[in-house]
Amino acid sequence: MATPRPRTQGHAGPSMQDVAATAGVSLGTVSNVLNHPAKVSPATTQRVRDAIAALGFVRNDAARSLASGSNSSVGMVLADVENSLFIDMAYGAQEAARAEGLKLLLANAVCDMQFQDEYLDLFDESRVTGVLLAPMQDSSAGIARMRAHGRQIVLLNYAPRPGTCCSVLVNNENVGYLAARHLIDAGCTRLAYVSAHGDYQPVQDRRRGVRAAVEEAGPGVSLEEIDSGGLTTAHGHGTGRKLARRSADALPDGLVAVTDELAVGIIHELHTVAGISVPGQVAVVGCENNRTAGSADVPLTVVDSPGRLMGQAAMRLLLEEVSAGDRHRHATVVLEPELVVRSSTPR
Amino acid sequence: MATPRPRTQGHAGPSMQDVAATAGVSLGTVSNVLNHPAKVSPATTQRVRDAIAALGFVRNDAARSLASGSNSSVGMVLADVENSLFIDMAYGAQEAARAEGLKLLLANAVCDMQFQDEYLDLFDESRVTGVLLAPMQDSSAGIARMRAHGRQIVLLNYAPRPGTCCSVLVNNENVGYLAARHLIDAGCTRLAYVSAHGDYQPVQDRRRGVRAAVEEAGPGVSLEEIDSGGLTTAHGHGTGRKLARRSADALPDGLVAVTDELAVGIIHELHTVAGISVPGQVAVVGCENNRTAGSADVPLTVVDSPGRLMGQAAMRLLLEEVSAGDRHRHATVVLEPELVVRSSTPR
DNA sequence: CTGAAAGCGCTTACAG
DNA sequence: CTGAAAGCGCTTACAG
C-alpha cells in the first residue's frame, strides 16, 4: 500500500511492471486482473487495483494491441461532418459499437478525397478492428487498398462496385419516387427535378425515381430537369433567382430538389424574395431531411433517410465480417426512406 | 522484384522483416527508408519501396508508437458534433494539425459525460500526442485525470479552473454585450435575455454582457431575464408561445437568445405562427451563428464566434505545450466575437 | 490461481 | 550508408 516514488524518467508513465512490483505480484497477474479478472483471486485483484490507483497507471494501448493482435476501435471516415445524415450515421454506428465494447473514432474528410485517403491509411496503420466509410464520390481505390491489406471496410450511403465490400444504402430511387409521387398526389402537373452533375450516386438514383413516378402518372404530368450547377444553398439561390424570372405559366408547380440545401435556397428566393408562394404556386420537396430543413423560411417537406439505423446496420455488418473471417459473404443492406410532410407542399 | 508469396498465416500482413527480406536489406534499413530517407542511398531506397509495394506492406502504428514512444495523432473530444461551432473548431484544429504532419481523430460525446470520459480515456490509453476537449459542462475531473497521467490537454470554449490547463475561449461576455448593444442601438428599450440554468458557462458569461450593456444604456432601457427551461429549438417554441400570449405592451421589443436554436424557435412562434413581426415588433439576436441561423424563418442576426480560429489556436497551444515540456506555462487565448446583422433585427 | 518467458513489429542508438 | 541487437509495454500460452 506504500506509494512508491513515481518514475522520474521523462513522462513515460508507470508500466504494468511497476504495478506488479508495487502489488508484489508478477506481470502476468496484473495483465490477468485487467483482461481475465475471473482468473485472479479477490485478494490479489484488490492489491493490484490499489497499486494501479496509487500509481495512476494507464494501459498502453499500442503495446496492448501489438501483443494481442487486436484493437478495440473502429474507424469511421465521413465525407462531410456538416451533413446531418452523416452525423446520424455516426451516432448509430457508435451505439452499435458500444454494444460490443468498441469505440468509434471519427475522421472528417471535409469533402476532400486526399483527406479521405489519408484517414483511411491512418486507420489502416492503426490496425483498427474495421473501417466505416461514408464517401461522396467513388472511392474504389481506397476500398481496394484497405481490402488488399485484409482490413474490413463497410460503405455507407454509396454503392460499392458489386462484390467489393459490404454496404448500407438508402433506396434512393424510392427517395426520388416518393418525393415526386407526393407532388403528383398533391395535384402538381409540371414537375421539375433540380440537381447537378457529378458522381454523387444519390443524385442519379433519385432522378430515376422521379422519372418513374412521372411516367407512372401518365401524359398529364410533365418533368423538367434543371441543372443547379451544384448542391449547396448558394446554388439553390441561383436556381431560385432564375426560376423567379420566368412567366407564371412557365414555372413548374412542383419541385424536387436533390438536396435540402438546394431546396432551402430556392424557397428563399422564390417565396421570401420574389413573393412566389411556396407551396401555393410552387410546392417543394427536399430529399434529405437535414437539420436545417425543419427550420427554413418555409419548413421543408422532405424524404427522410434513416441515418441512425444505417449506422447501426453498417457497424453490425462490419463486426459480422470481422468475426466470420473466410466464411464471410458481402451483403448490401438497403433501407427505405420515408416522406415527412411539412409546409413546403400542400396540406 | 520477384513477388514473394504473401504470408498465409491469418490476416497478419507482411512485416518490415518481410520487406527487408524481399529487398535484400536489413530491418533497420527499411525503417530508415520510412523514417529517415536521407540516410539511405537512392538505389537501396528504390529496392525497399518496390518491396513495400509488391508486398502491400502497411506500417503497424502500434509497434511504431511503442518503439518510438511517440504518436502522430491528436484526439479531439467534442461534446456535440451537431453544433456547428464545434465542427468549425474541429476543422481549424485539423488544419493546424496537418501543418505539423499530425492527424486529428474526433470523438463525439453526444452531450453525455460518460461518453466524454470514455473517449478521454481511450485517447489517453492510445498515447496520442495530446487531447483537445470542447465540453459543455465542468470537466475538471477528466482534465485532472489526463494531466495526472502527463497527457497534455487543451480546453475549448470552456474556461478551466485557473491554472489547470491551456484553453481557448470566446469573450462570451462580449457576445452578450454586442448582442444587447446592437438592440439598444436599434432603438429597443425593453430587452429580454432568454436562457436556461445549468453549468454551460457561455450562458452566464453572455448574461453578464447583456446586463452590462443595459446598465450602460441607463434608465431608459430595461432588462427582463426569461428562463426557457433549456437551450433547444423546442424550448424556443415553448418560450415563443408564452411570449405570444402577452399583451403588446408587455412584450419585450428586443430579445437576446443565448443559443441560435432558442432564437429560431422563438421567431417561428412569434413571427410565423402568431404573426408578431420580427423584427418589426420584436427584434431578435442569437449568440452563436449556427449553420441554421442564416436560413431560418427570418434570417437571424447573430454574434459570431470564430470557431475555426479557435481550433487552430487550440492545436497550436497543445503542440507548444508538448514541445515545451517542463518550461511550459499554461495560457488562455481569448478571441473576440463579431456581430453579423441579418433580418431579425432592424436595418 | 500464480509466475517466468517468449514474442508482437517496430525504432533507435551503436558499431562497422 | 548499412546491419545486428536491444528494448518499447504489453498478452499469451505454458509450466507449476
Side-chain-side CA neighbours of A285 within 13 Å: the count stands at 32
Q: What percent of chain B has pLDDT over 70?
A: 97
- What does the pLDDT average to over A233-251? 96
Q: Is A242 on the interface with B (CB under 8 A)?
A: no
CA distances from A263 to A3, A205, A344, B245 (A): 65, 18, 10, 33
- The partner residue sitting opposite B119, judged by closest CB among A87, A103, A110, is A103
Instruction: Encode pLDDT of B116-125 as tens digits.
Output: 999 999 999 9
Strand A166-170: give its sheet, edge to edge.
A332-335, A166-170, A153-156, A130-134, A73-78, A103-108, B103-108, B73-78, B130-134, B153-156, B166-170, B332-335
DSSP secondary structure letters along B129-195: SEEEEE-SS--HHHHHHHHHTT--EEEESSPPSTTSSEEEEE-HHHHHHHHHHHHHHTT--EEEEEE
Chain A: closest CA distance from residue B108 (Å): 8
Q: What is the pLDDT of residue B347?
A: 77
d(CA B174, CA A251): 47
> Would you state the pLDDT for residue A241?
97
Q: In what order do the strands lie in the sheet with A283-286?
A: A222-227, A190-195, A254-257, A283-286, A301-304, A338-340
Q: How high is the pLDDT of residue A311?
A: 98
What span, in angstroms and rounded, lies between the C-alpha atoms of B160 and B135? 10
Chain B residues with beta carbon closer than 8 angstroms to that of A321: none
Give B103 or B4, the one with higher predicted confidence.
B103
B71 touches strand C (CB under 7 A): no
Decide whether B70-171+307-336 matches B172-305 in CATH topology. yes
Q: What is the tens place of the pLDDT at every residue in B26-62?
A: 898 999 999 999 888 999 999 999 999 999 999 999 9
From A292's Cα to the closest Cα of chain B, the distance in A is 5
What are the angstrom distances between the C-alpha of B237 and each of A292, B85, B267, B272?
Answer: 16, 22, 8, 11
Q: What is the mean pLDDT of residues B71-78?
A: 95
Please write the tens of the pLDDT for every residue from A8-34: 234 578 999 999 999 999 898 999 999
Which strand C nucleotides have any atom less than 7 A from protein CB atoms? 1-14
Once rounded to an integer, what is the mean pLDDT over residues A247-276? 95
Å separating the CA of residue B67 from the C1' of nucleotide C12: 8
Q: Could you give the CA distance from residue B88 to residue B76 in angstroms, rounded to a whole number? A: 13
Q: What pLDDT, in 10s, does the model give residues B181-212?
A: 999 999 999 999 999 998 899 999 999 999 99
- Average pLDDT score, chain B: 92
In Å, the largest CA–CA distance within chain A is 88
Cα atoms in the Cβ-side hemisphere of radius 13 Å centred on A214: 22
> Which residues in chain A touch residue B291, judged by CB atoms under 8 angstroms apart?
82, 291-292
| Model confidence band, residue B1 (pLDDT cutoffs 50, 70, 90) | very low
Each residue of A278-319: pLDDT tens digit? Answer: 999 999 999 999 887 876 778 899 999 999 999 999 999 999
Mean pLDDT of all residues in A217-225: 97
User: Quick one: which of A332, A333, A336 has its CA closest to A162?
Assistant: A332
So what's the pLDDT on residue A327? 87
CB B170 within 8 A of CB B182: no
Q: How confident is the model at residue B292 (pLDDT cuts 50, 70, 90)?
A: confident
pLDDT at B94 over 70: yes
Phi, psi dihedral angles at B343 (to 5 degrees): -100, -5
| Alpha-carbon distance values, B50 to A146, A151, B4, B8 (Å) | 19, 22, 12, 21
Torsion of CA B160, B165, B167, B172, to 10 degrees: 20
Q: Between A11, A59, A119, which is nearest B103 by CB? A: A119
Written out in words, the top-level CATH class of the domain with range B16-59 is mainly alpha
Give residue-wise pLDDT tens across range B234-254.
999 999 999 999 999 999 999
C-alpha cell at B239: 418560450
pLDDT in tens, A207-216: 999 999 999 9
What are the beta bridge partners of residue B320? Answer: none
Q: How confident is the model at residue A265 (pLDDT cuts 50, 70, 90)?
A: very high
CATH topology of domain B70-171+307-336: Rossmann fold (3.40.50)
Report the length, in residues, of chain A: 347
CA distances from B325 to A12, A167, B71, B184 (A): 13, 46, 16, 48
pLDDT beyond 80 at A139: yes
pLDDT digits (tens, 9 = 90+) for A34-57: 999 988 899 999 999 999 999 999
pTM: 0.88
Give yes or no for residue B8 having a pLDDT over 50.
no
Asked if residue A255 has pLDDT above 70, the reply is: yes
pLDDT exceeds 50 at position A1: no
B46 touches strand C (CB under 7 A): no
Residue A65 φ then ψ, to 5°: -75, -25
At residue A5 the predicted structure's pLDDT band, cuts being 50, 70 and 90, is very low
Residues B168 and B308 sit within 8 Å (Cβ to Cβ): no
Rounded to whole angstroms, the Cα distance separating A38 from A104 reads: 28
CATH number of the structural domain A172-305:
3.40.50.2300
Residue B3 confidence (pLDDT) above 70: no
Residue written as grid cell 434512393: A172
Task: Specify the pLDDT at position A8.
Answer: 29
> Taking 50 as the threshold, does the pLDDT of residue A140 lie above it?
yes
**Domain residues of chain B, as ranges?**
16-59, 70-171+307-336, 172-305
The yes-or-no verdict on residue B144 having pLDDT over 90 is yes
Residue A94: closest CA among chain B residues belongs to which residue? B108
Estimate in Å the CA B41 to C1' D13 gap, whole number.
43
| Chain B residues with CB-CB distance to A87 below 8 A | 81-82, 108
Is the pLDDT assigned to residue B4 strictly greater than 50? no
Percentage of chain A modeled with pLDDT above 90: 84
Sequence-ordered list of residues with C-beta below 8 angstroms from that of A327, at least 6 positions apart, any chain: none
A178-189 per-position pLDDT tens digit: 999 999 999 999
pLDDT at B324: 87
Cβ-based neighbours of A275, under 8 Å, separated by 6 or more = none
- CA-nearest residue to B78 within chain A is A106
Q: Identify residue B128 by its one-letter amino acid code.
A: V
- Most B CBs within 10 Å: which of A58, A71, A298, as the mutation test of the B interface? A58
Residue A248's contacts (CB-CB under 8 Å, 6 or more residues apart) are A281
